[in-house]
Amino acid sequence: MRVQVLGNDDVAEMRAMLAVFGEAFGDQATYTQAQPDDAYLGELLSSAAFIAVAALSKGKVVGGLAAYTLPKFEQARTEVYIYDLAVDAAHRRQRVATALIEELKKCARAHGAYVIYVQADRGDDAAIALYTKLGAREDVLHFDISPVEGGE
């Protein structure tokens, strides 16, 4: 297995990673039916605000991690937020997720980040076990606020 940070020339790998997310999360529609065009994905992959890390086995994407860098305002420092992380079912329990996070740590250091954080949903025992092994747990509440007037 090889782990690599995706760049603007890796649009095909990003699309394959989106397919892995859709399958792993049981939400193919969100991840595959309305994907942005190649120019958008290439620009996103070259942005300092976004990090995509893919795990490949025999040239096929078998896992992926999507993260965002967040420059802070209270101090000159950056946080990195893991937005999505998934591994193909046939490749789970083989340290793929850990390898993805280890590669993200290198990127985070290069961005001057002082912390990487991630959200795990109650009941997602595998994710909770992984993140507990790698970091300190905080129990927080998460709220989605609609930007649309009258939205929920």
Q: Per-domain residue ranges for the chain?
A: 2-134
pLDDT at 149: 75
| Mean pLDDT, all residues of the chain | 89
**Mean per-residue pLDDT, 44-63:** 97
In this predicted structure, the answer to whether residue 123 has a pLDDT above a threshold of 90 is no
For residue 152, what pLDDT is reported?
63
DSSP assignment string, the chain: -EEEE--TT-HHHHHHHHHHHHHHTT-HHHHHTTPPPHHHHHHHHH-TTEEEEEEEETTEEEEEEEEEEEE-SSSS-EEEEEEEEEE-GGGTTSSHHHHHHHHHHHHHHHTTEEEEEE---TT-HHHHHHHHHHS-----------SSTT--
**pLDDT bucket at 118, cuts 50 / 70 / 90:** confident
Residues 60-71 have a mean pLDDT of: 97
The CATH code of the domain at 2-134 is 3.40.630.30
pLDDT value, residue 68: 97
What's the whole-model pTM score?
0.86
Tell me what the mean pLDDT of segment 72-91 comes to: 93
